[in-house]
Amino acid sequence: MPAVVRPPDSTIDQGPGDLAALAPLREISRYVVLEELGAGAMGVVYKAHDPDLGRMVAIKLVHAGSTPARSTRLLREAQAIARVAHPNIVAIYDVGLVEDQVFIAMEYVEGQRLRDWMSAGPRTLREILHVFEQCARGLAAAHDAGLVHRDFKPENVLFGNDGRVRVVDFGLVRWAEDEDGPPITEAGILALDQSITPAGAAVGTPRYMSPEQIRAKPVGAAADQFSYFVCLYEAVTGQRPFLGDNMAVLMRAVTGGEVRPFPPTCVAPRWLRAAIERGLAVDPGDRWPSMHSVVAELGRDREAERRAALDGSGSTEPMIAAFPPPDDLFVRRRVEEMRTQLERAWQLKSRGNLGGALKIVVELGPQVDAIGYRPLRAATLYLRGNLQYRTGDAASARTTLLEAAREAARAGDDWQVANVWTFLVLVVGLGLGRFEEAEGLVAAADVALERVGENASLRSRLLNNWGTCELARGRYGDAAGCFERAVELDTITHGANHGFVAMSLLHLAEAQIAARSLRDAAITLDRAVAVCQPDRTTPTPTRLRCLGLIGRLRLVEGRPAEAIGSLERAVLGWERMIGRERALGETLRDLANARGALDDPRADDTANRADRLLAIAPPRTA
């Protein structure tokens, strides 16, 4: 006979003596009772058969006492949950009264409680996140219906043999706007793991109660979120987040936000630790906005993001997040410290402070070398080479990036190898003008991409980089072919309105203008305009580039007067950005040509300024 989950007893406030006098039942409403599954101070659970629908059900019979108001409250709670149909909430089939007792007919589940699953043996992080993502979905559905569980804990989650997780025992649920009673105290609490509902007091299980529940403050969905993250902390660490062997100590720890540090043996990545710490914040407003946002955070495919990361976007974390942290605690802490420094450098780079970013990475190099954690060293070398190229030292960038590729290969990181080869194409081709060598690097990147298992975003970047090289050596048709394929890949991967699509479209338009395929260029720019909306007030590099190419197209079409407005707006935008000397110089050069065609006396000054900027600007990036 398969193991049968015995749904946790209801937490309605009844004493053990209230149920002792219950006579054995053979029928409850239309349900035929087969056997008792469990009995406790709060109620009795039976396995029963529904003759009308021919299915097994679990019947929870709760002694509601003689007060009609109490029976009405119980019925309302059961009916509230019955309204929520979700695969991660145990299904409620029927509710009713039998001789002043509330009964709830619910889904009969074969499996085990989450507590038993957590205790059965070590679980992988992937398994834990899969289970808790389902829990979060169930709670989110209840919250969407205006309901709060108020007693979420591992004992109130069923893990079915079908692999599906179900949140159960909403016996403490209230409508979200209901009032709470006075705060709980140590008196009368016999067990910190016991659900409590003293008349007129806060409800829940002390070890899982939020600070606002303990203080009997207004309780909403954020309280369930707090309880949820207490459980998740337990699952990933094997210990409780708050110390306290008695109620007084536990209350001080919870309301004081005294979350225990993650133990040295915990393999939870940094993003997960941060997510848990946020969910355990004392102030409900400091937690996640909703359980939907928790679902999104836990469900993010970080490996896919890591592989899809484009050069210059995001942070350094995607580059090394796929690797487990070092086993040695000291090394692990040093790696985290150094990664924080890399994050600083990456943010400086994104703001255009290339010199400051490079200084951090260069100073960090010897420390990274000494630690010997290859994923971190490969990421550090890649960022250093990237910055060397962007600050005008393509020769040093080539040397650094080749070492980054070797280190990534030693680490077994095929994605990083492909990433480095892809950027090297630009460094060697556009930066050093060694196009034949760059073509060989394209072949190397192709092989690396095959080892990765193909990656549309990385393939698009390779096409954009090589297309930029082809454009630089006057092979406009070949360049356009590369960019067209990049547009197709970006559209399939990210959708037609994504910023990556806009950038590939702008590359394509530039190649078409250079080839004098002006009709095609106009069509391409119209598509780019629809995506990046350059008329919006907030300037971005993509919007400014779009404005510049619109002006260039008008200039090449022989309409310099119509080019002036777009070019001047683009110049103003580039002037406000740090580290955009090349983009500003190229736009000024087009503006100088437009002004010259109109015999504008400012044309020569504009051209001289463009030449000065382009002489000192770092090489172009795709």
Taking only the tens place, the pLDDT of each residue in 21-43 is: 334 457 888 899 998 887 654 67
Q: Give the count of beta carbons closer than 10 Å to the beta carbon of residue 193.
A: 12
In eight-state DSSP terms, residue 620 is: P
Whether 68 is in a domain gets the answer yes
pLDDT in tens, 605-620: 999 999 999 988 877 7
pTM of the model: 0.54
Q: How confident is the model at residue 396 (pLDDT cuts 50, 70, 90)?
A: very high
* One domain, residues 260 and 341: no
Q: Give the count of beta carbons closer than 10 Å to the beta carbon of residue 19.
A: 18
187 pLDDT higher than 50 = no
Note the pLDDT of residue 316: 45
Domain closes at, from 86, 107, 128: 107
Domain closes at, from 73, 107, 141: 107
Q: How confident is the model at residue 203 (pLDDT cuts 50, 70, 90)?
A: low
Q: How confident is the model at residue 307 (pLDDT cuts 50, 70, 90)?
A: very low
Whether 459 is in a domain gets the answer no
Q: How confident is the model at residue 67 (pLDDT cuts 50, 70, 90)?
A: low
Question: Rounded distance, CA 79 to CA 94, Å?
Answer: 8
* One domain, residues 275 and 133: yes
- Average the pLDDT over 138-148 and give the result: 90
Whether 6 is in a domain gets the answer no
- Average the pLDDT over 511-518 and give the result: 96
- Average the pLDDT over 199-222 and give the result: 79
Whether 470 is in a domain gets the answer no
* One domain, residues 151 and 245: yes
* One domain, residues 96 and 119: no
Q: How confident is the model at residue 340 (pLDDT cuts 50, 70, 90)?
A: confident
Note the pLDDT of residue 212: 93
* One domain, residues 294 and 316: no
Residue 126 or 390, more confident: 390
Phi, psi values for residue 375, rounded to 5°: -55, -40
* One domain, residues 130 and 261: yes
* One domain, residues 334 and 272: no
- Average the pLDDT over 531-549 and give the result: 83
Contact 547, 566 (CB under 8 A): yes
| The token pair that represents 392 in the structure block | 């005008």
pLDDT in tens, 549-574: 999 999 999 999 999 999 999 999 99
Q: Give the count of beta carbons closer than 10 Å to the beta carbon of residue 319.
A: 26
Range of the domain at 240: 111-299
Give the range among 322-326, 396-400, 451-455, 538-542 with minimum mean pLDDT. Answer: 322-326
pLDDT in tens, 408-425: 999 888 888 999 999 999
Quickly list H helices, 60-108: 68-82
Catalytic residue numbers read: 151
Note the pLDDT of residue 454: 65
Note the pLDDT of residue 328: 76
Note the pLDDT of residue 479: 96
* One domain, residues 369 and 256: no
Question: Rounded distance, CA 309 to CA 17, Å?
Answer: 63
| The token pair that represents 195 in the structure block | 């659900």
Write out the H or E segment, with its range, that includes residue 55: strand 55-63
> Looking at the 3D structure of the chain, how many domains does it have?
3
